[in-house]
Amino acid sequence: MISTERLQLRIGTRTLVQDLDWQVREGECWSIIGRNGAGKSTLMRALAGLREPDGGRVLMDGRALRDWPLDALARRRAFLAQSRSDAFAYTVIETVLSARHPYHGNNYWENSDDHQIALRSLAAMEVADLAARDVRTLSGGERQRVAIAALLAQDTPLLLLDEPANALDLAHQVSVMGLLARLCREQRKTVVMIGHDLSLAHGISTHALLLMGDGRWLAGARDEVMQPSILSDWLHHPIEAILHGGRTIFFPRDA
């Protein structure tokens, strides 16, 4: 689905990612984990094609990202950014409908399928009742759910999400994560997401990529990578895990 070859990402004189050789296959759900500033969002933007690599390349379906026409790329991947600003008075439904533009070719107007898909996406995020509201009046969590609805409405095989659980209450964190896991399992969608909640990440991921922030990285199957001793090293804090009700719960040990 998406892969990198000897990918290098640098900011100023700092190397964030060095020689990343990484393969994400259809139906997999990857969590990218690392400390603040480790380069997770920078990597995500490179995967989305919004940032040029400083070396190496990103490939989608075996073809270098830079060789993809933008409209075709927009139908292959959707990207949820970490933050957004709403400059205009769009309604919620207009915001989600605008996410359907890659399917319109030269036609400006959306059709009834678009409306159905938009309404279904809003319902999946439990924000259908907000459809007529100005997005600028929404709470942080409501706005995040509308943004995820817009991502779902793009109906792409690859979903790239930068901290999807941001601003969500506990119940919505769990339901959004459950939905992403089901999309991978049942519809063979591919998810790459960033998150700081290790227990949530472990609950839905099949794989994990750790970034150290100095170029080093570690990629592999979830249970090979998400071990307390490894996470403690990479996150610079002692972490323990317990099994509870069949789930692994991670918690930081007191300093």
Q: Which residues contact 202 (CB under 8 A, 6 or more apart)?
A: 31, 222, 226, 247, 248, 250
Q: How many residues sit in the footprint of ligand ATP (CB under 6 A)?
A: 10
Q: How far is the CB of 183 from ligand ATP (least distance, A)?
A: 23
Nearer to ligand ATP, 13 or 107 (CB): 13
The residues pairing with 215 across neighbouring beta strands, listed in sequence order, are 17
CB of 119 to ligand ATP, least distance (A): 32
Return the SS3 of 91: strand
Nearest to 148 by CA among 135, 159, 137: 159
Q: What's the closest the beta carbon of residue 121 comes to ligand ATP, in angstroms?
A: 25
Give the separation between CA 120 and CA 202, rounded to whole angstroms: 27
Of 81 and 128, which CB lies nearer to ligand ATP in the complex structure? 81
Q: Going by DSSP bridges, is the β-strand pair 77-80/158-162 parallel, antiparallel, or unpaired? A: parallel
CB of 146 to ligand ATP, least distance (A): 21
Nearer to ligand ATP, 11 or 221 (CB): 11
Give dist(CA 192, CA 207) in Å, integer.
Answer: 9
Q: 11 to 40, contacts with ligand ATP by CB under 6 A?
A: 11, 16, 34, 36-40
Identity of the residue, 151 or 194, whose beta carbon is nearer to ligand ATP in the bound complex: 194
Tokens for 57, please give them.
């390349």
**197 near ligand ATP, judged by CB under 6 A:** no
- Smallest gap, in angstroms, from Cβ of residue 250 to ligand ATP? 17
| Residues 41-60 close enough to bind ligand ATP by CB under 6 A | 41-42
140-153 helix and 170-187 helix, angle to the nearest 10 degrees: 10
Place of tokens 């759900």: 29
Enumerate binding residues for ligand ATP (CB under 6 A).
Answer: 11, 16, 34, 36-42
